[in-house]
Amino acid sequence: MTIRDVAAAANVSVGTASKALNGQGRLRPETRRRVTEAAQRLGFAPNVLAQGLLGGRTYTVGLLTTDSFGRFSIPVMLGAEDALGAGQISVFMCDTRDDPDREQRYLDRLISRRVDGLIVTGRRIEPRPAVDVGRRFPVVYAMTQPLEGDDPAILPDDEGGGATAAQHLLDIGRRRIGHITGPERFLAARKRATGLSHRLTDAGVPFALADVLYGEWSERWGREAARILLDTSPDTDAVFCGSDQIARGVGDGLRALGRRIPDDVALAGFDNWAPMALGADPPLTTVDVCLEQIGRLAGQHLLAAIGGETVRGLRTVPARLVVRESTRAGGHSGSG
């Protein structure tokens, strides 16, 4: 069915039928009702894209990511799509692979497609060069932030997540706690370590940032670091890891050294990455940074900006602890 069919059925001009269905123009209520009833009777659905173009909207947004693996960008995109309205706004996902030239080509394409807005995401929270699209459409950052400007950015609370993990380990009676994490150059690794350190210090448990074992985001590093930690601190009764992948390796290393999890050493990770956390033996207690919520907030901010609201500044999303068998409280016999 077309608008012409509706106009003929209602005995009005095409222009009048269009105005009636779009709520425009000065028409008599009877005329509007007659057109609406004809459209319903014929099963006519207005072309949303055409309506959008008339109003300066395409009902499409871009999602620019540096996360080729999709570990972070896909949950962010799912959350953004929820906020943008399932099926109402299309999302074009563009993987830049950390290549500035590739990124610029994607930006040019998104501009040519006249997207209504852009979400920029990645796998690191480090500030990155701001995306330059002039005043063509609003930009929101998720899981990253711009080096300059005050475009809205939604970040996980890495420091709060580290503090939450520390409090959980304290609550189950652990007092000799080690921390094994990724490269020190990563802002997220430093923030998680800081959160842990501050909470332990506030509780009177000895821990210094110099005690943190920085390394790689890998299981291999986790296995190696477990040996290093127990060589220097054999009375360790809990280990908090900066990622679930590291924690899987630490678990292997602890078992190889004759330590039982969680009876001898409680183990906690970070990210709540299901393949790692649920596949660990025993299943891993971990901190969830709520990636879909980050994406959902980014989508809400973008919608607000598209609608003309002024949206600026940084916002963090609280992390949440997911408790599983690797920190089960009942297995520990002593807490000094």
Give per-residue pLDDT as tens, 55-97: 567 888 999 998 877 788 889 988 988 888 755 788 888 999 8
Tell me whether residue 276 is in a domain.
yes
Same domain, 271 and 164: yes
Distance CA 287, CA 160 (A): 10
If you count them, how many residues does the chain have?
336
Same domain, 313 and 170: no
Tell me whether residue 66 is in a domain.
yes
Question: How many domains are there within the chain?
Answer: 3
Same domain, 149 and 298: yes
Tell me whether residue 114 is in a domain.
yes
Q: Where are the alpha helices (H) located in the chain, listed in sequence order?
A: 3-10, 14-22, 29-42, 48-54, 73-84, 100-112, 158-171, 187-202, 219-232, 244-256, 274-277, 291-306
Of 120-134, 163-177, 256-270, 320-334, the poorest mean pLDDT is in 320-334
pLDDT digits (tens, 9 = 90+) for 229-272: 999 999 999 999 999 999 999 999 999 999 999 999 999 999 99
Same domain, 146 and 98: yes
Using the structure block, give the residue that is written with the tokens 């690794």.
189
Same domain, 271 and 197: yes
Tell me whether residue 95 is in a domain.
yes
Tell me whether residue 335 is in a domain.
no
Same domain, 266 and 297: no
Backbone angles phi, psi at 246, to 5 degrees: -60, -45
Same domain, 68 and 86: yes
Distance CA 131, CA 27 (A): 45
Residue ranges making up the domain that contains 17:
3-39
- Mean pLDDT computed over every residue of the chain: 89
Cα angle, residue 291 at apex, residues 190 and 126 outer, rounded to 5°: 35
Check if the beta carbon of residue 246 is closer than 8 Å to that of residue 222: yes
The per-residue pLDDT for 331 is 45
Give pTM, 2 decimals. 0.80
User: What residues pair up with 313 in beta bridges, in sequence order?
Assistant: none
Q: Is the pLDDT of residue 333 over 70?
A: no
Tell me whether residue 223 is in a domain.
yes
Distance CA 72, CA 322 (A): 18
Same domain, 188 and 217: yes
Tell me whether residue 328 is in a domain.
no
Q: Give me the CATH number covering residue 149.
A: 3.40.50.2300
Same domain, 174 and 113: no
The per-residue pLDDT for 36 is 86
pLDDT digits (tens, 9 = 90+) for 270-329: 999 999 999 999 999 999 999 999 999 999 999 889 888 888 999 999 999 999 999 986
DSSP 286-307: EEE--HHHHHHHHHHHHHHHHT
User: Which residue, 223, 175, 217, is CA-closest to 336?
Assistant: 175
Tell me whether residue 297 is in a domain.
yes
Same domain, 281 and 297: no
Same domain, 101 and 127: yes
Same domain, 172 and 269: yes
